[in-house]
Amino acid sequence: MRVKKNCLWKWLVAAGFVAVSSSAFAADPAALAKRLHDAANSSSIDDPALKPWHLKITFQLLDKKGATAEEGTIEEWWSPENDKLIYTSPSYNATRLRRGGEIYWTEGQPSAPYLLERLRDEVVHPLAEDEMKDAVPDLRVESFGKVKLDCIMMDHPIKHVAYPPLGLFPTYCLDQDKDRLRDTFRYGSKNVARNSIGTFQGRGVPVDVLISTDARAVAKGHIATLAGSIEEEHFFDPDSTLKPVSGGATKVAGGVIAGKKLSGDVPVFPVEDKQSRTAGAVHLHAVIGTDGRIHQLTVLDAPSATEAISALVAVRTWKYQPYLLNGVPCSVDTTITVNYNFGPG
């Protein structure tokens, strides 16, 4: 990936990675945290307080011209005790089963591709609690066309970055003075998920989900079915195609994972940092799925905001050889380092 000599910041704004702020102001972090907590409660349908349900999402993955490259379905039967999730498409077919405290997965299949996971999560559980942990909520009022939203970013302190730009950390945008979730930013992917909101068991659910990266739509999802459902107990019995899997990601040193990188964009040294002679390392916390792709990405520290953004933009495209534990692909929790250094002379 190459960016011409124009400012990386302007390119990110035009790409939709950083929204142009109409205003920015401080707000009580405790009040913002409560607001996000209320938004999570009002938008999640995998709450043990809810009655069992059946969900079917139809999806399209889009090519660079916006045409449908692939179609499929995500179907789920959920109850507080059990959960059965089936992905069906030309390139990926797998079942995940939660039976009591055990998790099962289709043998020989990696975890679901990121875009499919994101489409499902935007409907079922869009606010991730782990993104809120140890973060300081920061409220900014942002304009998206004629619409103004209250955007709350989960800030973490970074050396040399006094005021991080919107989207540098996970950001949730709500209707002004309300707790209804509308947009989400995650390391350069903007999910315009909630232009159409339905209500199910008292929760706000997006009828349509659109995921865009760099101002380009990459995936669409539509709720075809969402209704109460009571399944017989044997419906959740694992069959011979499902094998138990361990939960959580395996911690692996960054140096080990670096040697397994297969492809991805090269980070661009921001022009303004070259001019100011600002260099150093950006450290990112990453979760890499069993498909070898980045599933979570968070900035730990950076020499500057522009270098942090440049690293996020590039690393989110990286693909790795799946990490094997006892011969079985597993998710990896690791640190990725991107160095910005000046050459000799």
213 Cβ contact list (under 8 Å, min separation 6): 188, 189, 190
Across 144-148, 181-185, 235-239, 326-330, least confident range: 326-330
Residue 52 in this model has a pLDDT that exceeds 90? yes
For residue 22, pLDDT beyond 80: no
* Predicted pLDDT at 2: 39
Beta strands in 193-327 (DSSP E): 197-200, 203-206, 208-213, 216-228, 242-245, 250-251, 261-263, 280-288, 294-301, 319-320, 323-325
Q: How far apart are CA 338 and CA 59, in angstroms?
A: 34
**pLDDT tens by residue, 91-106:** 999 999 999 888 999 9
Q: CA 169, CA 6: separation in Å to the nearest integer? A: 24
Task: Look at strands 332-340 and 250-251 and give their pairing.
Answer: parallel
The residue with greater pLDDT, 327 or 257, is: 257
Confidence grade of residue 337 (pLDDT, cut at 50, 70, 90):
very high
- For residue 73, count CB atoms less than 10 angstroms from its CB and return exposed for 0-12, middle for 13-18, buried for 19 or more: middle
pLDDT value at 246 more than 60: yes
Residue with tokens 């070898």: 292
Q: Could you tell me whether strands 53-62 and 82-88 are parallel, antiparallel, or unpaired per DSSP bridges?
A: unpaired
CATH of domain 246-340: 3.30.2420.10
Q: 129 or 221: which carries more pLDDT confidence?
A: 221
pLDDT at residue 160 in the model: 67
Identify residue 153 by its one-letter amino acid code.
M
Q: Which helix (H) or strand (E) holds 62?
A: strand 53-62
What is residue 249's predicted lDDT score, i.e. its pLDDT? 81
- Residue 190's pLDDT is 63
What confidence score (pLDDT) does residue 51 get? 96
- What are the extents of the domains in the chain? 10-245, 246-340
Q: How confident is the model at residue 240 (pLDDT cuts 50, 70, 90)?
A: very high
Specify the pTM.
Answer: 0.81
192 pLDDT tier (thresholds 50, 70, 90):
low
pLDDT for res 80: 94
- The confidence score (pLDDT) of residue 344 equals 65
**If we measure between CA atoms, which residue out of 20, 65, 3, 34 comes closest to residue 216?**
65
Share the mean pLDDT of the chain.
85
How far is it, in rounded angstroms, from Cα 133 to Cα 156? 10
Say what the pLDDT of residue 58 is.
98
Q: What is the pLDDT of residue 189?
A: 54
